[in-house]
């Protein structure tokens, strides 16, 4: 599949996701399914740290890892915990358009100057931090 599917009805959810945690996530968030009660998490959701992004899901339905650009790299232990201890068998990775973390290299100067102006960092320290950060993004 190389395109987005609008989920506006239960039938528009891809058949293999219906009646499992991914389908339920789509029903809760997109279709306003009444919120059920859960004693344990059903899935792991990886999503962007963007404060404007919220999900409509029940309490205890999912473990959520929020990271810039929904990048779960270096979150292996958290993912492993959700699987090994939490017992989840499904993972949903949710991104969004116009993410500020995409192509951060193009915003290098803004990033560095922001650390200098807003956090009082020395410019050299801010540049080193940016380079270290970009090495694993």
Report the alpha-carbon angle 31-32-35, nearest 5. Answer: 130
Spatial CA neighbour of 40 closest among 17, 65, 62, 66: 62
Q: pTM for the full model?
A: 0.81
Helix, coil or strand: residue 41: coil
What the chain holds in terms of domains, given with CATH numbers, is 10-94 (3.40.1050.10), 104-134 (no CATH)
Q: Between 123-134 and 108-119, two packed helices, what is the crossing angle to 10 degrees?
A: 130
Q: With CA atoms as reference, report the closest residue to 86 among 24, 44, 23.
A: 44
Tens digit of pLDDT at every position of the chain (137 positions): 568 889 999 999 999 999 899 999 999 999 999 999 999 999 999 998 888 888 999 999 999 999 888 888 889 999 999 999 999 999 999 987 777 777 788 889 999 999 999 999 999 999 999 988 776 55
Which residues lie below 8 Å from residue 83, measured CB to CB, with a gap of 6+?
A: 44, 89
- Burial pattern 31-49, b for ≥16 Cβ within 10 A else e, equals eebeeeeeeebbbbbbbbe
The owner of tokens 């009082």 is 120
**Spatial contact of 61 and 39, defined as CB atoms under 8 Å apart:** no
């Amino acid at each position: 599949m190389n395109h987005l599917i609008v989920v506006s009805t239960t039938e528009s959810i891809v058949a293999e996701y219906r009646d499992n945690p991914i389908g339920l996530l789509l029903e809760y968030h997109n279709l306003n399914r009444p919120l059920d009660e859960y004693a344990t998490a059903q899935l792991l959701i990886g999503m962007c740290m963007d404060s404007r992004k919220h999900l409509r899901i029940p309490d205890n339905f999912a473990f959520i890892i929020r990271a810039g650009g929904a990048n779960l790299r270096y979150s292996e232990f958290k993912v492993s915990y959700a699987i090994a201890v939490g017992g989840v068998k499904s993972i949903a990775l949710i991104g969004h358009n116009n993410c500020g973390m995409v192509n951060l290299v193009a915003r290098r100067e803004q990033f560095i100057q922001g650390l200098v102006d807003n956090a009082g960092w020395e410019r050299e320290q801010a540049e080193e931090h940016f380079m270290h950060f970009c090495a694993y993004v």
